[in-house]
Chains A and B, each alone.
Chain A
Amino acid sequence: MENKGNENSVLVRNMSRRNFMKGAATMGAACAGAGMLSASGWLSPREALADDVDSEQEEKSFTYHCANCGNPACALECTTRGGKLVKIEPNQGWNDPRLATICLKGISEINRIYSEDRLQTPLKRAGERGEGKFVAITWDEAISTVGDSLKKAIEEHGPKSVCFYSSSSANTDDGIRWLPTLLGTPARRAHPAGGGIDCGIGNGYDDTTGNYAPVVPQSSDVRTWKDSDVMVLVGHNPAESRLHSVRYVLEAKEAGSELIVVDPRYTTTAQHADWWIPIKPGTDPALITASIHHIIENGLYNEEFVLEHTAFPFLVDVEAGTYLRATPETKDEAGNVVKGDVNPFMVWDSAANAVAPYNSGAAPELFKEVVVDGKTYKTVMQLAKETYEGATPEWAAEITEIPAEDIKKLAEKYATAGSAVLSYGMGGADKYPNSDITGHGMSLLVSLTGHIGRPGTGFGEGIVPLNHPAAMGKWKLPEQFKVSKLPQSAATFTQEESPVRVLFGIGNPINQLFANSEATDKWVKSLDFVVCMNPYHCPSVDYADIVLPTTTGFESEYDVRGLQNRRDHAVLAEKVIEPLFDSHTDFEVERMLCEYLGFGDYIPKDPEELVNALLSGAKDPWKGITVDTLKQNNGIQPLAVSPKPVVNYADLKFPTASGRLEVFHPSMAKHGQALPVHEDCEEITSEEVASKYPLQYGQVRSRNRVHSQFAGTHWIKDVNGEPAIRINPKDAEARGIKTGDVVRVYNDRGSVKFVAQVAKDMRPGQISIQEGWWPSQTIEGNFQSLTNDKLVDRQRDRKYGPIIPFMDTKVEVEKA
């Protein structure tokens, strides 16, 4: 079959006909059965020829998936035969058939839950911490050892010495729920809040809106994007990271919205863009501030919106870096924010030629500088004009390697569109040390243009159908139990003193949520006690003193496993199969620990009791929905909410002190970032580093993965192939590297070996891997040994603390 190089020509991916067929024999070898401790024969090979389907009835059960590919989405119809999970399909019971989603990962769970990586029994460490040597123990011994260690740590070092830390879902939605409150430790950390991950852009954006959700959810339901004229996606790859919702972006494109994608690589999303803008990694703030410059200089801002809904007309004390208000009080005695109706922000009333309160009905001057009692005040807009005078598109072109004309065109398209969406992903700009500046800058773009609060507009991360308000009830613990506050982000643990002596890890936090694995290794080894709770023997487990094997989301001891609100539907999680091996649900593990510690009376006796508490305390949209009605309706029922898609901020009121978009951030004035100013990424722009390590190293999202989950799943490997680094042909040729060569990727922090793939979609000067390969899956080494963990001091004054700059990493690659 020849490759004619035209559209009708089809080239067999990666393999000749011969290879492809031979593949069957070799891949079959590494299959189920290897390494099982207690298989008890039920996984022994069967006669391949025989019609081996049991004639017994098929059963259906319904649950939801929570591998956490952002915004829990999919509801699953599961088929079992003889107590085994045999089919997974999308639940069809949604009121919008487009919501009936599933992806290759959800389907592969049939294969994955029986993986040889499953933890089958509680384990106790038998060698050095980190060696991964264990002996099997009973649940009684495991629970009592963990319970005693928690008690001891709290008695000797106080409750802040215990850190419960979960990575993005160990495949159930439970984790540990009550123990932190009952023990008085800090609340369970789940990134983003408190771990320096996924909150980079939120760090800068949220002070503008006053709405603090570290991962800023897209403010308008993605299904309204078809009403937009322009969609700008910055470092956002939903065609890989949001398979359940990317269709709405494609539908919007079909409806005539222009899709613009800003990304260093030609991603799967970029290929669908009307306009892909390649950008040099880590330079987003330059692009954003140059766009701000262009909008202000050419009067492309929405003047009415700017005057009425933003802080641009507010006067600021230039030297002090504060807003001018009627009185200096910004916080009252109790520490609460003083609102603008009590202590108004001040504007310049051009008619009266005087300072006036912003809510007095005066027509404010947008550009003004005035001296009052010897102090200089400028409107935020005046200050912005001066601040961004030098941030020309030509200046930014040098930094971003985007032509100046394109920067202008992008700014114009966004600013002059009738309706525009600005969207970011968490794997791109968010992972650079200047991400807070990017987020802050993006809030200025939104504030200048008014693209918020209407269908087809908005800002945020991800692409989501948004839920209408529909609060569920809560399980209340007695009043005397409270979590304590830990005054530092987990991002600092590996580098600075902290009270933490015990790490209770759920999922894969150790290898996934810290950069620079050498430092993480040292820190974890210095702790008194480490617990890992997970279905799979992921890299974190090797550091545990006690390992607790948990079930996946398909297994439970109980008939009912949980309840969630997914896309305005009540979705029930039923038991699909019994716990495999000697594993227990997260719920059950926590229950056993609570019983051991004397807290058994305070928690639900089973998940159904919890679900009933959630339902009985729920607000009106849940009316009439019970566990029984859900069971009768295949586990899914729509909530009684408006069918109109959610558009937040429709009233253009923001929870800031002034009620407006407060684009000037006084808390950042001492850092010179009261208005966002571009800052280079240290490692990426260092000439000294570049002389040794010329390539930027990215860990990118992949459809084949949710972070470090699914990395070894066989069905996924059948379509994804082996772990590889991707490198542009120019960079490969310069190093004598061809596809299939084993290469070493290294810098001062570490080194790792992978197979190389020469890929044209890669930007020259940048290499990438799919994030989350386990060290056991690389040819040699841990990819996390390369990554940069240097914290930015300024960010300690940001809401979510310093972020871990995984992507500000440079490496060299050579044939191994």
Chain B
Amino acid sequence: MTKLGIAINQSRCVGCNTCSVSCKMQNRIPSGMLWNRVLTNNSEVADSAEGEYPDLRRTYTPLACQHCENPACQRVCPTGATYKDDKGRVEIDYDKCIGCRMCMAACPYNARVFNWAEPVRDPDFAYGDKDVPLRPKGVAEKCTLCKERTDRDEEPMCVKCCPVGARVYGDLDDPNSEISKIARLGTAKVLEEHFGTKPQVRYYK
């Protein structure tokens, strides 16, 4: 079995959003939309902090689709557009998506975005990966675990471009992979564990 995932080191993450922007380039994400966002934990304003000056704490949580083993989005999708593939990635068949947005209501991670209008891309020529399909108005989209790259045995763009080496990509079903070793660390956790979605994205320190 293959169970692809990403591990993110929150002791290294500096919140720079290089992952978000590299994803935007790779996947031709429309203006004003992101598949990956870097959140500042428990803060109303980006790059703020928890606590009161000078007793402060800050942690960044880069957040995208968690590629859950038990995806809430798949459960509620009426057409089967959302599916889990043979490599453990949660994907969307855009042709089947009817834009009902039940998946967005169900996802505890707010991982999906929606093309409410005709997507505007900027610049508006065909940049990014040549194999990534364009999504039209009326469909949901999200992190695909860089399906086109990982199918070519390349690591996801966010992993490649992270300047501090905070991201690790690999197969959670391979006990000797780097990501599996990280998953066994005491500090490794998943987000919103109580929902039972069993994310394949791990956060550790």
Contacts and interface: CB of A to CB of B under 8 A. Distances in A.
B193 to A, nearest CB: 7
Interface residues of A, number: 92
- Kindly name the residue among B61, B120, B163 whose own CB sees the greatest number of chain A CB atoms within 10 A: B163
B137 interface: yes
Interface in B148-205: 157, 160-161, 163-165, 189, 191-193
B163 A101 contact: yes
A276 B15 CA distance: 18
A9 B41 contact: yes
Contacts of B165: 98, 247
A82 B124 CA distance: 14
A87 B164 contact: no
A81 B17 contact: no
B129 interface: yes
B80 interface: no
B70 interface: no
Interface in A4-24: 5, 7-14, 17, 20-24
Contacts of A49: 134, 136
Nearest to B46: A13
Given A102-B18, A243-B16, A718 B34 contact: yes
Contact of A271 (B39, B58, B192): B58
Contacts of A13: 37-40, 43, 46
Interface string B14-48: 11111011101110001111100111111111111
Interface string A762-780: 1110000000000000000
Interface string A229-243: 000000000011001
Contact of A272 (B14, B20, B31, B38): B14
A8 B11 contact: no
B176 to A, nearest CB: 20
Contacts of A102: 18, 22, 161, 163
Nearest to B37: A13
Contacts of A7: 41, 59, 189
A31 interface: yes
B127 A84 contact: yes
Interface residues of B, number: 78
Interface string B53-71: 1101111010100000000
B127 A761 contact: no
Contacts of A557: none
A108 B123 CA distance: 11
Nearest to A764: B53
Contacts of A739: 44-45
A27 B48 contact: no
B14 A268 contact: yes
Nearest to B39: A13
A728 interface: yes
B22 A20 contact: no
B126 interface: yes
Contact of A243 (B18, B22, B38): B18
A760 B53 CA distance: 6
A728 B12 CA distance: 26
A759 B47 contact: yes
B72 interface: no
A773 to B, nearest CB: 16
Among the interface residues A3, A13, A26, A715, which one has the most CB atoms of the partner chain B within 10 A?
A: A13
Nearest to A44: B124
B121 interface: yes
A567 to B, nearest CB: 14
A530 interface: no
A760 B126 contact: no
B49 interface: yes
Nearest to B112: A21
Contact of A250 (B11, B47, B51, B52): B11
A764 B126 CA distance: 47
Nearest to A703: B16
B53 A728 contact: yes
A714 interface: yes
Contact of B127 (A20, A43, A110, A239): A110
A85 B20 contact: no
Nearest to B165: A247
Interface stretch (A51-59, A506-514, A539-547, A643-651): A51-59
A11 B42 contact: yes
Contacts of A11: 39, 41-44
Interface string A23-62: 1111111011100000000110110111111100010000
B86 interface: no
Contacts of A719: 17, 20-21, 34, 37-38
B79 interface: no
Q: Which of B14, B20, B59, B114 has the most CB of A within 10 A?
A: B14
A721 B30 contact: no
A244 B117 CA distance: 37
Nearest to A100: B160
Most buried by B among A48, A54, A58, A89: A48
A457 interface: no
A9 B42 contact: yes
Given A31-B31, A104-B20, A761-B49, A243 B14 contact: yes
Given A28-B120, A243-B16, A719-B34, A21 B114 contact: yes
Interface string B94-136: 0000000000100011100111111111111111111001101
Contact of A86 (B56, B115, B116, B126): B126
A16 to B, nearest CB: 10
A668 interface: no
B85 interface: no
Interface of A: 1, 3, 5, 7-14, 17, 20-29, 31-33, 42-43, 45-46, 48-54, 58, 81-82, 84-90, 98, 101-104, 107-108, 110-111, 114, 239-240, 243-244, 246-247, 250, 254, 266, 268-269, 271-272, 276, 278, 703-704, 714-716, 718-721, 726, 728-729, 739, 757-764
9 contacts: A10-B63, A42-B125, A43-B125, A102-B161, A240-B14, A266-B58, A714-B122, A718-B20, A721-B46
Nearest 5 CB-CB pairs, A to B?
A: A27-B32, A28-B120, A104-B21, A239-B14, A86-B127
Given A43-B123, A739-B45, 13 more contacts: A8-B192, A10-B41, A11-B43, A14-B46, A21-B104, A23-B32, A24-B113, A26-B32, A28-B31, A103-B16, A239-B16, A714-B122, A762-B53
